[in-house]
């Protein structure tokens, strides 16, 4: 199938698929006219990549997951390790964002938000103490 079909079936933009070929994540065959010719397996791999990326795995992690996916003798523990590490990063990111949210919420709540110029948000950003 052509790249637009591969795009439809995987949900990835054609540009992204070409990029994935560039960096060696997929290696579709080529027709006589130079067009990429994706097999079902290729399409399946692209969908796998799309799902992995949408779960927030980096390209390099996707590369690892792909090779584990293609390795019929891999141990599930190897996969679990990649995923667990990623889970930890997600948890940490959530905690960071929640801290930001709390600080910013405090500032926003304090700001009366009217026509007057004094503003606790700018005061907070300019260095005054921000109590939680």
Q: Which is nearer to a copy of itself, 51 or 63 (CB)?
A: 51
Query: Which residues does 74 contact at the CB level (< 8 Å), separation at least 6?
Result: 68
Residue 119 contacts DNA per CB under 7 A: no
Residues that bind a copy of itself (CB under 8 A): 44, 47-48, 51-52, 55-56, 65, 68-69, 72-77, 79-81, 83-84, 86-87, 90-91, 93-94, 97-98, 100-101, 103-105, 107-108, 111-122, 124-127
| Longest Cα–Cα distance in the chain | 70
Please give the Cα distance from 95 to 50 (Å, whole number). 26
The helix or strand, by DSSP H or E, that contains position 30, with its residue range, turns out to be strand 29-30
* 58 phi and psi angles, rounded to 5 deg: -70, 165
Considering the complex, what minimum distance in angstroms separates the CB of residue 131 from a copy of itself?
A: 15
Please give the Cα distance from 17 to 13 (Å, whole number). 6
Query: Near DNA by CB under 7 A, which window of 28-36, 78-86, 87-95, 105-113?
Result: 28-36
> Which spans of this chain sit near DNA (rule: CB under 7 A)?
2-5, 13-16, 18-19, 32-36, 53, 58-60
């Amino acid at each position: 199938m052509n790249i637009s079909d591969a795009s439809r079936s995987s949900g990835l933009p054609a540009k992204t698929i070409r990029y994935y070929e560039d960096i060696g994540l997929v290696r579709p065959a080529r027709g006589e006219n130079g067009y990429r010719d994706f097999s079902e397996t290729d399409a399946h791999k692209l969908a796998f990549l799309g799902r992995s990326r949408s779960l927030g795995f980096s390209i390099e992690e996707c590369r690892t997951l792909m090779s584990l996916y293609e390795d019929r003798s891999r141990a599930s523990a190897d996969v679990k390790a990649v995923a667990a590490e990623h889970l930890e990063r997600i948890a940490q990111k959530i905690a960071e964002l929640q801290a930001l949210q709390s600080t910013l919420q405090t500032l926003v709540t304090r700001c009366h938000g009217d026509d007057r110029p004094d503003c606790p948000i700018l005061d907070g950003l300019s260095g005054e103490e921000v109590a939680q």
